[in-house]
Amino acid sequence: MKRFVICVAGKIGTGKSTAAKILAEILNARIIDVDRAGHEALKREDVVEKIKEVFGEKIIKNGEVDRKILREIVFSNEKLLKKLEEILHPVMVKMVEEEVRNCQNTVIIDCALLKRMKLDGMCDLIITIKSFYETAKSRKPHIPEEIFRKIRESQRDIEDMGEVIWNEGEKENLKKEIIKVLKNHQLYPQKAFHDE
pLDDT, position 133:
97
42-52 average pLDDT score: 94
Pairing of strands 64-65, 60-61: antiparallel
In 3D space, the residue among 62, 74, 118, 68 whose CA is nearest the CA of residue 94 turns out to be: 118
CATH 3.40.50.300 fits 4-190, yes or no: yes
pLDDT, position 62:
86
pLDDT, position 188:
84
Residue 196 pLDDT > 50, yes or no?
no
Residue 56 pLDDT > 70, yes or no?
yes
Using 50, 70 and 90 to split pLDDT, how confident is the model at 54?
A: very high
What is the reported pTM? 0.91
Express as a percent the part of the chain with pLDDT over 70: 96
In 3D space, the residue among 187, 196, 195 whose CA is nearest the CA of residue 2 turns out to be: 195
35-39, 58-62, 146-150: least confidently modelled range: 58-62
Element (H, E) at 32: strand 30-33
Residue 193 pLDDT > 90, yes or no?
no
Q: Cβ distance 105 to 193 under 8 Å? A: yes
37-50 average pLDDT score: 94
Using 50, 70 and 90 to split pLDDT, how confident is the model at 189?
A: confident
What angle do the packed helices 67-74 and 145-154 form, to 10 degrees?
60
pLDDT tens profile 86-126: 999 999 999 999 999 999 899 999 999 999 999 999 999 99
Domain ranges of the chain: 4-190
pLDDT tens profile 154-173: 999 999 999 999 999 999 99
Element (H, E) at 164: strand 163-166
